[in-house]
Copies of this chain bind each other. A is one copy, B any other.
Amino acid sequence: MKPNIQHVAEKAQVSKATVSRVLNNNPQVKGEIRERVLRAIEELGYRPSVIARNLATNRTNNIGLILPDITNPYFPVLARGVEDAARRLGYTLYISNTDNDPSIEQEIIYKMAEQQVGGILLISSALDEQTVNELTSLRTPIVLCDRLIANKPFDAVLIDDYKAAAEAVGYLIGLGHKRIAHLAGPRNIQSAESRRAGYLDTMHAAQLDPFISVGSFSYESGVHQMGAVIDEYGPTAIFAANDLLALGAMQEINRRGLRVPEDISVIGCDDIAYCSMSRPTLSTISIPAYQIGVTAVQLLDDQIKGVSTGSKNVILDHRLLHRESCSGVDQR
């Protein structure tokens, strides 16, 4: 039979309360007694019941990570950051996928709240006020990663997507490109929208004619969109909203007998591992995914422990990575 706190108490000839105190490192237990309890615990092989503790304290040491799709190579890196940081702080981690579907997202949020998670890390696919209201009514600590929601005051860790996109497009323009198309992500994703805006504004500022193709952040979508972009626009350069799209685009460009970067330059966003394995290697905006995960957990921990000083957005630095997939337009 599995021993409980009562058994330990009897064996050590103390009360349950005292056992509980040494379990929780309460300093006001005298050395000798503490020793006795510890020995009893040892001899019985006693392990406190997390479940019972949860009920008594009405909280858990679990946190949840809700993300679009762990199968997209960007997210595992972020998830590793989260897991490593969470484990260091003694949290156990739930992970769930939404497939960028706001209704699934909501369902999962409720499920996690129901599990009494201490807090939630959310990479959201929802932009609307309603989601915000439901989220706040949960009264569960929340930290947003990568994507804001309706500019509402949740803690968040992200990069400056607008600026990143502007830099990427500016880089292409600096290379002499004039026909630069954008492979955009889904319209319900905030970071995708910011990148899109950064693209558009930069194109307009340079008096260039923009062209946007909307897709779904996947490799297949990149392949498919790229075909249409070539047919309808005839670009010399592509700014893709993420690397998977960029990789798909490169694939289609090659399939048509065109070359990267000689015929069409391509730049992506995220800096997933494949970027440096592909041929040519893919220039991109590097996002510190691991660090985002780590930072988000810290913010969440602050909220949970109640040391949080008002909501804050942490903007981490991105970096434009020059690899082989972009070249000057006059090299053609």
Q: Which residues of A contact B (CB under 8 A)?
A: 47, 49-52, 54-55, 58, 60, 62, 69-71, 73, 75-77, 79-80, 83-84, 87, 92-97, 111-112, 114-116, 219, 247, 251, 254, 273-274, 277-279
Contacts and interface: CB of A to CB of B under 8 A. Distances in A.
A285 to B, nearest CB: 19
B93 A96 contact: yes
Contacts of A114: 47, 50
B93 A87 contact: no
A116 to B, nearest CB: 5
Contact of A70 (B51, B54, B76): B76
Nearest to A60: B51
26 contacts: A49-B55, A49-B116, A51-B54, A51-B55, A52-B55, A54-B55, A70-B79, A70-B83, A71-B77, A71-B80, A73-B73, A73-B273, A75-B76, A76-B76, A83-B95, A83-B97, A92-B96, A92-B112, A93-B94, A94-B94, A94-B95, A219-B273, A247-B277, A254-B279, A278-B279, A279-B279
Contacts of A84: 97
Contacts of A112: 92
A214 B55 CA distance: 49
A279 B259 CA distance: 13
A222 to B, nearest CB: 10
Contacts of A70: 70, 76, 79-80, 83
Contacts of A278: 277-279
Copies of this chain, how many? 2
A296 B279 CA distance: 37
A204 B273 CA distance: 37
A64 B103 CA distance: 25
Nearest to A75: B76
Contacts of A80: 69-71, 97
Q: Which of A52, A60, A92 has the most chain B CB within a 10 Å cutoff?
A: A92
A69 B80 CA distance: 8
Contacts of A97: 80, 83-84
Given A49-B55, A52-B55, A70-B79, 8 more contacts: A47-B114, A50-B116, A51-B60, A73-B73, A83-B96, A93-B96, A94-B94, A278-B278
A203 to B, nearest CB: 28
A79 B55 CA distance: 30
A112 B94 CA distance: 12
Contacts of A50: 114-116
A92 B79 contact: no
A308 B92 CA distance: 28
A92 B111 contact: yes
Nearest to A279: B279
Q: Which of A60, A112, A115 has the most chain B CB within a 10 Å cutoff?
A: A115
Contacts of A55: 49, 51-52, 54-55
Nearest to A251: B277
B219 A277 contact: yes
A60 B94 CA distance: 14
Contacts of A71: 76-77, 80, 273
